[in-house]
Amino acid sequence: MFSVINTSLFLLLFISYVYVKKNMNLFEVLVYWFWVSLFGEDFSEIVVRNLQLIVPYRTYQIFWDTMFYYLLLFPMSMIWFLHFYIKMSRKWQRLILTSVYTLILASMHIVMELAGYVYVVHWKFWWSIVVWLTFIVSTVGLMYVLRWLKGRDKQPV
């Protein structure tokens, strides 16, 4: 059931992103995509599961569902976040967007536990907020660095 929901959400986000006016070029989207999928999956594996704070259930269906989530759905949702972040001109709008997206990502552990994909052992909700807020801030920082480097490229030699 969860895989049907993940697939539907990914296709909805992906197809709608194809038809929206873009704020990022293809190179930026690919860099953010790889950054998000690398951080999401590797951080989750190295830190959370090795410390056994969250114990995943070991079935192939759940394995592929979580892989699909970390490699496709989560990066696509982050691309949408950056799309809206770039569009917003006021700092308070960006702050509200960042706060809401952080709460959505932090609540995913609860959703995954209710869906039967993981068993939360010693994980606290505020840890999720700190982890995801750090991740979002680092991704926005990467966006500013890439845009700064792209602006430097236009300088005449």
Per-residue pLDDT of the chain (157 residues; tens, 9 = 90+): 556 776 777 777 778 777 878 778 888 888 888 888 887 767 666 666 666 666 655 665 666 676 777 777 788 888 889 989 998 889 999 999 999 999 998 888 777 777 776 667 777 788 788 888 988 998 999 999 988 888 765 655 4
Parent domain of 57:
2-150
Q: What is the CA radius of gyration of the chain?
A: 17
Query: Do 117 and 66 touch, CB atoms closer than 8 A?
Result: yes
User: Which residues have a Cβ under 8 Å from the Cβ of 65 and sit 6 or more positions away?
Assistant: 2, 3, 6, 117
Q: How many angstroms separate the CA atoms of 113 and 55, rounded?
A: 10
Look at the chain and report how many structural domains it folds into: 1
**Residue 132 falls inside a structural domain:** yes
Going by C-alpha positions, the residue among 135, 136, 112, 138 that lies closest to residue 54 is 112
Q: Does residue 53 sit within a domain?
A: yes
Q: Does residue 82 contact residue 32 with C-beta atoms inside 8 Å? A: yes
In a domain, 119, yes or no: yes
Q: Is residue 58 part of a domain?
A: yes
pTM, 2 dp:
0.76
